[in-house]
């Protein structure tokens, strides 16, 4: 299969949904402008694409869940805006552009993040957006995404990440940071496919293993890219982890072992898909793509 064309096609579905969602001007305009600035800054849309692909793997038509899948991008974008703030990673560059607070100031950047997060749950609580998803499945997906984002998910990982700066790295803390800061939202992205479709327990279990493995691998690869990557190619400042002495896989395991860990996690993710046949090919290709990505 042509994975590049597949990714492009799914990105277009998500982008079209956002353009329609924000076709009307909300008041005050600067809030919507700041939200759209970050939303259309060139993100890969990997989280909604994973949700669409796992729904397709279960037998559904991905077009039926575009609004719900897109909420993952709203939450992800909020997290990046807040992560870049001076109080957190203090980054000037994201997705190749000045960060939100550099353009709009800290207050509007914080509020644009808040509004993006809230928008996600407004969409996830609207059953009229798909005739193919029952209210009970939608509620389950909403809860999955809420749990992945908050006190036991992404925000917990972010807090541990901050607390661990300048600390001596250890394997358990590292795994906690990476699997929470980045892994839980990616795992939820994959899991909402079978949840929204009403897939079998076997499908949900297999996709949970796939989601957990690629979720952790994603952040390990991000750590490697922060060292080996190029600022222009990545669209964010290379070497920023080292600058603030972050607890990363390369810092604890070294570069080569970190590459091996990422490779093994991707192999584990693909092995979990053995319960499916060709319908899971997009998920197999996405796993390989994550390993070779340069941004």
> Near ligand GRG by CB under 6 A, which window of 13-21, 75-83, 163-171, 266-274?
75-83
| Eight-state DSSP code of residue 94 | E
Nearest alpha-carbon partner for 206 in 270, 140, 145, 148: 270
- Minimal distance in Å, beta carbon 188 to ligand GRG? 13
Residues 216-245 close enough to bind ligand GRG by CB under 6 A: 219, 222
Residue 276: φ, ψ to 5°: -105, 160
| 95 is a site residue for ligand GRG (CB under 6 A) | yes
144 or 222: CB nearest ligand GRG: 222
Interface mask toward ligand GRG for 144-183; x: CB under 6 A: ----------xx--x----------------------xx-
Q: Quick one: tokens of 171?
A: 């394997």
- Minimal distance in Å, beta carbon 25 to ligand GRG? 25
Residues 202-221 close enough to bind ligand GRG by CB under 6 A: 219
> Near ligand GRG by CB under 6 A, which window of 41-49, 52-60, 100-108, 241-249?
41-49
The residue assigned the tokens 């509007």 is: 108
Applying CB under 6 A, the site for ligand GRG has a residue count of: 16
Residue 130: φ, ψ to 5°: -150, 130
| 285 is a site residue for ligand GRG (CB under 6 A) | no
| Eight-state DSSP code of residue 105 | -
Helices (H), 40-170: 46-57, 66-83, 100-104, 106-124, 135-149, 154-163
Residue 245: φ, ψ to 5°: 55, 50
Q: Which of 38, 54, 57, 79 binds ligand GRG (CB under 6 A)?
A: 79
Q: What H or E segment, with its residue span, contains residue 98?
A: strand 97-98
The DSSP secondary structure of 174-190, one letter per residue, reads HHHHHIIIIIHHHHHHH
At 57 the three-state DSSP class reads: helix
64 or 73: CB nearest ligand GRG: 73
154 or 192: CB nearest ligand GRG: 154
| 70 is a site residue for ligand GRG (CB under 6 A) | no
- Minimal distance in Å, beta carbon 291 to ligand GRG? 13
Nearest alpha-carbon partner for 217 in 255, 177, 172, 179: 179
Residues near ligand GRG (CB under 6 A): 43-44, 46, 76, 79-80, 82-83, 95, 154-155, 158, 181-182, 219, 222
């Amino acid at each position: 299969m042509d994975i590049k064309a597949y990714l492009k096609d799914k990105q277009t579905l998500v982008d079209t949904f956002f353009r329609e969602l924000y076709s009307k001007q909300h008041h005050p305009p600067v809030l919507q402008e700041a939200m759209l600035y970050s939303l259309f800054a060139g993100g890969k849309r990997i989280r909604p694409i994973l949700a669409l692909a796992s729904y397709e793997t279960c037998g559904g038509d991905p077009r039926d869940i575009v609004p719900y899948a897109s909420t993952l991008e709203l939450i992800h974008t909020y997290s990046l805006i807040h992560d870049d703030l001076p109080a957190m990673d203090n980054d000037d560059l994201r997705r190749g552009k000045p960060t939100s607070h550099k353009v709009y100031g800290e207050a509007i950047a914080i509020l644009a993040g808040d509004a993006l997060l809230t928008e996600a749950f407004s969409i996830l609580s609207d059953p009229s957006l798909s005739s193919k998803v029952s209210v009970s499945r939608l509620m389950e997906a909403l809860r999955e995404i809420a749990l992945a984002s908050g006190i036991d998910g992404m925000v917990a990982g972010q807090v541990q990440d901050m607390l661990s700066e300048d600390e001596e790295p250890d394997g358990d803390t590292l795994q906690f940071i990476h699997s929470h800061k980045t892994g839980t939202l990616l795992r939820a992205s994959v899991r909402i496919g079978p949840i929204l479709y009403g897939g079998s327990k076997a499908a949900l279990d297999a996709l949970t293993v796939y989601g957990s493995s690629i979720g952790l691998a994603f952040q390990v690869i991000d750590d490697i890219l922060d060292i080996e990557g190029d600022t222009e190619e990545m669209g964010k400042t290379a070497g920023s982890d080292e600058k603030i002495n972050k607890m990363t896989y390369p810092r604890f395991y070294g570069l080569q072992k970190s590459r091996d860990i990422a490779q093994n996690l991707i192999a584990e993710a693909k092995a979990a898909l053995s319960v499916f046949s060709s319908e899971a090919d997009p998920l197999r290709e996405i796993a390989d793509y994550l390993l070779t990505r340069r941004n």
